[in-house]
Every structure is written in C-alpha cells, then in structure tokens.
C-alpha cells in the first residue's frame, strides 16, 4: 500500500499528537473549572431565590431588613466605643497598679 505524500507518522506526527493531547487536556481542565463555577452559581442562585421567596411571602420585608441593618450598625458602633473606653480604663488601672508596685 502506498502512503499519500506528507503523511509521515514520524516526528511530525508525534508532535501533532502531543499538541492535540495538550489541547484536549486544556479543554478538559476548562470544562472542569466551568462545571465548578456553574455549581457555585447554581448554589448562590438557590440562596437568592430562597431569600426572595421570604421577602415575597411577607415574612421579611426589604424595608424592615434595611431598618434592622441600620439599627445593628448603630449598635455595633456604640459597642465599639464602649470597648475602646473599657480598654482605656483598663490601661489606666494597669498604670496605677504598676506605679504602686514600684512604690512598695
């Protein structure tokens, strides 16, 4: 049987096979990555749909949610201020204790 001209299965054929193999591996890696991303998006979509259903059912209204967030942010700021004042008071007490220890 004669082989058509240019159908050398030697080094050129091996090189082409390796390029094809690399391209297939890259395509499979991309497919795997895309599947993972799709699963993440579908999960997030389910979470958002559940949240929207709660809003639509009236168990939580967007306005109440925003008001509650604002209230919690104010409370958080107040708690941060209290913590800072507490740290300052503890620091002053520690300074006094150290001073008294040095005096004795």
pLDDT in tens, 35-81: 999 999 999 999 888 887 877 777 667 777 788 889 999 999 999 99
pTM above 0.85, yes or no: no
Annotated domain spans of the chain: 35-103
pLDDT in tens, 78-100: 999 999 999 999 999 999 899 88
Give the span between the Cα atoms of 80 and 91, in whole angstroms: 16
Dihedral of alpha carbons 93, 96, 102, 104, sign: negative
């Amino acid at each position: 049987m004669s082989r058509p001209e240019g159908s050398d299965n030697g080094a050129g054929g091996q090189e082409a096979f390796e390029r094809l193999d690399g391209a297939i591996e890259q395509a499979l890696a991309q497919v795997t990555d895309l599947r993972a991303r799709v699963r993440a998006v579908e999960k997030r979509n389910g979470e958002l749909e559940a949240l929207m259903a709660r809003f639509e059912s009236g168990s939580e209204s967007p306005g109440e949610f925003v008001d509650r967030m604002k209230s919690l942010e104010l409370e958080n700021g107040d708690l941060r201020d209290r913590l800072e004042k507490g740290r300052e008071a503890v620091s002053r007490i520690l300074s006094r204790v150290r001073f008294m220890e040095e005096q004795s």
